[in-house]
Structure 1
């Protein structure tokens, strides 16, 4: 087992020895990105970016997946589990964050509540097409991890909300809004589509993992 662990760590170090691949991992540590966004950010031709992503995929660090909004679009997401063997550079948390999804009834509400509780800086949320109320599954999931969402209400996103660090947690909202390059995107599946407690708990686990690389 120890030999297997050493071999795995060696492969990870090898994949991250390239400065471009290390920079890609750093970028994905805060935001999911489309391949075209990564190409533009790092000045890479499509075939060269594909090579770097293939190397990172082979060692289990990234995955490419289809958008839940525009099914023609793909995103690249970091898998943080292998990095527990190496550690990941922390990112300083912004002083104020706005989480955005479509209905502002689950993911963005949970993300804002977790941010305030775990990171300790200001966080709000909004929706492009807000629901009438917070989904009961989100309230229950929050309660299971010590968060009180019972008084939260969906809020319609306005232009005035966007003067902070924006984090979209919904593919559809991200694609509708034509995001600024400085925005972060966390592609999190909508638990309302499934409706089970496990689906809402999975959202919390995903967000908690992403928050683990931030420092206040």
Structure 2
């Protein structure tokens, strides 16, 4: 009979070994919600930086986590769950919300796409806002949504303070917004800004990233 390759089996063993440690399992639980800087993880876990570094190296070595530099502050990095890392082993429902609020700086691309994608997979309402809204939704966002059969709401970009409400579950989808608004709590998705390159490929990459994250998070949020 056909079985998985030795390499695939060893990779699975490494993941199980990494997850057997309580601290690393907690880190992965957090990463299933969004991206965290090492400083944020250290605060969440209450552990010294050298011990956290050890756990992060183990998770990266097992193919469970990756890291990249912040687009806002290049001295800062974010840890994220590797794509497909858990393959059905993600934790269950954890968060209650009356609405999911996606936030980026300009509210012209990533947050708009996230809110529209959320509406496809969850009955919990969603909306979006920006810390410094643009005049209009980016054409690249409109185009990539149309290519995937998704319509963006006919709403101009809006300011966060005009939209935010009690009970919102806040998801920041750009590093600038997250680093401005950590006081809000919620979770963070470190999605690269497609407008930096403003190409079809950049918007496709952002759409794919956000779509995967929306589908991973939706089963973990319940109506409050």
Could you say whether these structures have the same fold, taking a TM-score greater than 0.5 normalized by the shorter chain as the test?
yes
Partner of 1:89: 91
* More displaced 10-residue stretch of structure 1: 61-70 or 123-132: 61-70
Residue 128 of structure 2 is aligned to residue 125 of structure 1: yes
- CA deviations on 1:171-191 (whole Å, 9 max, x unpaired) are 0111122433x3110000010
CA apart distance, 1:211: 2.2
> Any stretches of 5+ residues in structure 1 without a counterpart?
none
CA apart distance, 1:3: 1.8
Partner of 1:167: 171
Partner of 1:35: 38
Counterparts of 2:83 and 2:106 in 1: how far apart (Å)?
A: 28
Structure 1 residues 187-206: aligned runs within 5 Å: 187-206=190-209
CA apart distance, 1:95: 3.5
Partner of 2:22: 19
Contact 1:119/1:211 (CA < 8 Å) preserved in 2? no
Counterparts of 1:165 and 1:120 in 2: how far apart (Å)?
A: 14
Structure 1 residues 58-137: aligned runs within 5 Å: 58-84=61-87, 87-91=89-93, 94-137=97-140
CA apart distance, 1:87: 2.8
TM-score by length of 1: 0.92
Counterparts of 1:37 and 1:100 in 2: how far apart (Å)?
A: 19
CA apart distance, 1:46: 0.4
* Change in CA separation of 1:82 and 1:50 when aligned onto 2, cut-off 3 Å: same
Deviating runs (4+, > 6 A) in structure 1? none
> Any stretches of 5+ residues in structure 2 without a counterpart?
none
Number of aligned residue pairs: 214
CA apart distance, 1:59: 1.1
Counterparts of 2:93 and 2:64 in 1: how far apart (Å)?
A: 18
Calculate the aligned-residue CA RMSD, in Å. 1.8
Counterparts of 2:124 and 2:165 in 1: how far apart (Å)?
A: 17
Partner of 1:143: 146
CA apart distance, 1:200: 1.0
Contact 2:68/2:78 (CA < 8 Å) preserved in 1? yes
Give the secondary-structure state (helix, strand or coil) at the position aligned to 1:125. Answer: strand
